[in-house]
Amino acid sequence: MTFPTTLPTLTAIPSSSAALATDHVTIHTEDRTLLLSLADKVGADSSAITTSLDYLVKNGATGSGGVVRQTSPTLVTPLLGTPTSGVLTNCTGTAAGLTAGNASVAATATTVTGLTASVAELNYTDGVTSAIQTQLDAKAPLASPTFTGTVTVPVALTGVLRADSGVVSVDTDVTDIVAAATTSAAGKSELATSSETTTGTDTGRTITPDALAHSSYGKRCVQIQVVEGATDVATGDGQGNFRFFVPPELNGWNLVDAQVAHVTAGTTGTSDYQIRNVTDSVDMLSTKITVDSTEKTSYTAATPAVIDLTKDDVATGDELAFDCDAVSSTAPKGLTFLLSFQLP
């Protein structure tokens, strides 16, 4: 837009002019007032009137080209400054030249245009301090992970650690992992109890030293003849002046069974016997061994012998003596003590 450099001087109409008729004077005065007002609004070139269009255009406008209008203007590379508000819904391009800052999304929004993630899903990244993918790459996969260094597993881990391949199985049933052991191949095997060891017919269980020691196979039996087979048995301590001295192999073992046998059975009444630990000065039986009338052994006694569990242990070198406290009316002949020892 080009403005005039000067404005014509407006002067009053001479008083002698016929135009000063009442109606003409009024008209011209109003016209003059109108033109002066217009001059103030438009202004001359380099006008000093700060509210004039000329002043505003020259002192406040930037850029070049034509003046734009309010509705649908076309701007060519405009510098917009810092807008206080605006809607950029239909804008295209990139943000390469923008200064980094924070974008806000209304709390009630559920999605962001162009994104498939919801606001709630985006909030999952809150607190992330480094690249998420880098952190994920540092994690071991669930399937076939490979570890380095020292690996610590939970104390309550359920499964089987296979040293041959380093695989930890979480299968609580190892049947599918380890086959049953055989006489020619290693494998899984249930441990046998002492009673199963005594039975001795199971081919699928493994015998432990403890189960063997407390089975019948863990007992050591001793037969001690204190009266010759043709000689009548008589009452008295230390039958046959015989002593049994405990060998080192039985050190720490317990007496677990005590029986008596005769070569010829006695009749009428029982024959009663005691085992005495001379070294400890104690009787080892709380209920004596009895052999019933007409019986050769105490295995069938009506009153079985009972071993005193507080005095049943023996040590290397302990001296044991054998006493007869009663005999049948017709005395039996021959006397042998049958003792069994076992680890406690």
- Structural domain contains residue 321: yes
Boundary-marking domain end, from 172, 197, 217: 217
Question: Could you tell me the residue range of the domain that residue 209 belongs to?
Answer: 189-217
- Return phi, psi of residue 199, to 5°: -60, -45
- Structural domain contains residue 207: yes
The verdict on 337 and 233 lying in the same domain is yes
Average pLDDT value for the chain: 82
Q: What is the pLDDT of residue 259?
A: 98
- Structural domain contains residue 128: no
The verdict on 231 and 321 lying in the same domain is yes
The verdict on 332 and 249 lying in the same domain is yes
Please give the Cα distance from 224 to 227 (Å, whole number): 9
In one-letter notation, the amino acid at residue 5 is T
- Structural domain contains residue 39: yes
pLDDT in tens, 272-322: 999 999 999 999 999 999 999 999 999 999 999 999 999 999 999 999 999
The verdict on 194 and 269 lying in the same domain is no
Q: What is the pLDDT of residue 140?
A: 87
Radius of gyration of the chain measured on its C-alpha atoms: 61
- Structural domain contains residue 246: yes
Residue 266 has pLDDT above 90, yes or no: yes
Highest mean pLDDT among 19-23, 89-93, 203-207, 256-260: 256-260
pLDDT in tens, 188-243: 888 999 999 999 898 888 889 998 999 999 999 999 999 999 999 999 999 999 99
- Structural domain contains residue 1: yes
- Structural domain contains residue 97: no
Q: What is the pLDDT of residue 147?
A: 83
- Structural domain contains residue 43: yes
Domain count along the chain: 3
Boundary-marking domain end, from 165, 199, 217: 217
Taking a C-beta distance cutoff of 8 angstroms, is the pair 336, 260 a contact?
yes
- Return phi, psi of residue 91, to 5°: -80, 150
Residue 162 has pLDDT above 60, yes or no: no
Per-residue pLDDT band at 71 (split at 50, 70, 90) = confident
Tokens of 310: 């507080």
pLDDT in tens, 7-60: 566 566 566 665 555 566 666 666 677 666 766 666 666 667 767 666 666 666
The verdict on 258 and 240 lying in the same domain is yes
Q: What is the pLDDT of residue 17?
A: 61
The verdict on 201 and 280 lying in the same domain is no
